Amino acid sequence: MNDSLTASDLRCVIQMQDAGFKFSRLHRNLPPPSLIEAAIHRHEGELSTTGALSVRTGKFTGRSPDDRYIVDDGLTHDSVDWGKINHPMSPDKFDQIFNRMKRSLEGKEAFVFDGYVGAEKESRLPIRTITDNAWHNLFAMQIFIRPTPSELLSHNPSFTLLSIIDFQACPEVDGTKSETFIILNLTKRLVLIGSTSYAGEIKKSMFSVMNYLLPLKDIFPMHCSANIGRDGRTALFFGLSGTGKTTLSADPERRLIGDDEHGWSKNGIFNFEGGCYAKCINLQRSMEPQIWNAIRFGSVMENVILDQNREPDFDDESLTENTRVAYPIEFIPNAVLPSIGNHPDVIIFLAADAFGVLPPIGRLSKEHAMYHFMSGYTSKLAGTERGITEPQETFSHCFGAPFMMLKPREYADMLGKRIGEHNSKVYLINTGWVGGPYGVGRRMNLQHTRSMVKAAVNGDLEKVSYTRHEIFNVEIPVSCPGVPDYILDPINTWSDKQKYLESAKRLAFLFVKNFEKFGSMPVEVIKAGPRKQ
């Protein structure tokens, strides 16, 4: 531990010793400059010309979903939605790995961050993050909610996350699929991460924990960004990676509540986090000035290539297309602190449709919203993953299937209930292609998308007429301020109308086929989906 111990630090040491940890030196809640200094001294990263710490994550430049496990015990056996996403692990195997991890740390240096997940004080989760390197602890400090000095004095974690990047599992002994693992133990309130440097695992592990715990308190956990206008109107943005959640919520005319994870309680909405984790690939100052300016001293860049002068090259994807930056939310001008907001007036679902057939914007009823929430549609592009040579549809329930612990219906029912209670308006926006599929058509104009979002959140779209799309069964506005009328119906942008109809019917069929996996559902929700062709 550091040379001068406070009573709070001493309690932390005793708690760690009682849990079986025997570190040679423990650093607790070091300020960012000290963590950056330690990371550079330990050769974990280097400073870029922006002032941000630049690091590389090695073999893993993204999450490893096949290596994620949940301990199957009396608490979780009948409540977790087991299957392709939530893989079970026995309590014995968990204990086996945890005990070896503790032994591997004996006599070594470690870093601790004590903080919170959840900006709403009534429901926040006190957490402890233990890492074996400095930059991961800096990441945790910037992503999670930092305690005030007085809160730190009385901090008592109710969930602990342990990340050791060079600790490997033994698949033959531990029952894992590889040397890498992310294990959630809800009973012992522990998360173990090993053999991966990708910091997103730290962030998303705690998101998964909240997705299990909060519904027990009748709080709806959401994979979405959120902002609020000067008029107090709050908006939520749901969407998978690459659909524009971070970009569209970082609006200079509105205040950012959070860019990725939120809860919806009886009081309103609140951010789970104290920071943002934005994509950097092809980042341009002119298009995303708030994110660009947030990349400064205190931020952490992952896998962004630096030139010989340490200037970031945001267009270079030689390491990965999934380049990232983590920074505290206060780096965004006019961010809401604490990160809480009113019940949402508007909810926006974002889909990057690479087939170019979804309407640029459609209005959804409560039942439509539940259908599209459970569908969680977007599309992957050629080249973004090994083996993908053409656009591929992706359905990820609740717009975040890899992090959802319960059955999709449980989350959808919470959404539907709240839409009904608060009369939230819901829209589906296509941030993908128009005029044809990827490779033929063009990407939706970002300024047009921003205009659609603006019209939705300020209420302008409540004043226009609508027509119903015969295939996708959503209401299309006949006009939208700042957007040419003809592009609002996607068939108008295709030169070959017959090809549009064929492509649209194909995607509609995929929606229907995907939804069948949910089994018995209310008839009105099923009927709200695309028309079966």
| Residues annotated as catalytic (active site), given as ranges | 63, 204, 223, 241, 245-246, 260, 324
Burial readout 99-116 (b: 16 or more C-beta within 10 A, e: otherwise)? ebbbeebeeeebbbbbbb
N residues, the chain:
533
Q: What is the three-class DSSP state of 471?
A: coil
Strands 181-185 and 190-194: antiparallel
Please name the helix (run of DSSP H) or strand (run of DSSP E) that holds residue 221, with its range, or none.
strand 220-228
**Rounded distance, CA 295 to CA 301, Å?**
8
**Rounded distance, CA 216 to CA 76, Å?**
13
Burial readout 317-327 (b: 16 or more C-beta within 10 A, e: otherwise)? beebbbbbbbb
Helices vs strands, H then E, count in the chain: 14, 30
**Rounded distance, CA 488 to CA 112, Å?**
51
DSSP annotation of 140: H
Extract the tokens encoding 101: 């991890």
**Rounded distance, CA 440 to CA 212, Å?**
42
Angle, helices 408-422/366-375, rounded to nearest 10 degrees: 150
Extract the tokens encoding 366: 């409560």
Please, what sign has the CA dihedral across residues 204, 251, 247, 490?
Answer: positive
Please, what sign has the CA dihedral across residues 261, 269, 192, 153?
Answer: positive
**Rounded distance, CA 172 to CA 177, Å?**
9
Question: What is the longest distance spanned by two Cα atoms in the chain?
Answer: 75
Q: Which residue, chain included where needed, has tokens 């089994």? A: 519
The half-sphere exposure of 17 on its side-chain side, counting CA atoms within 13 A, is 10
Strands 346-351 and 425-430: parallel
Nearest to 404 by CA among 209, 270, 201: 209
**Rounded distance, CA 481 to CA 71, Å?**
51
Angle, helices 366-375/497-515, rounded to nearest 10 degrees: 80
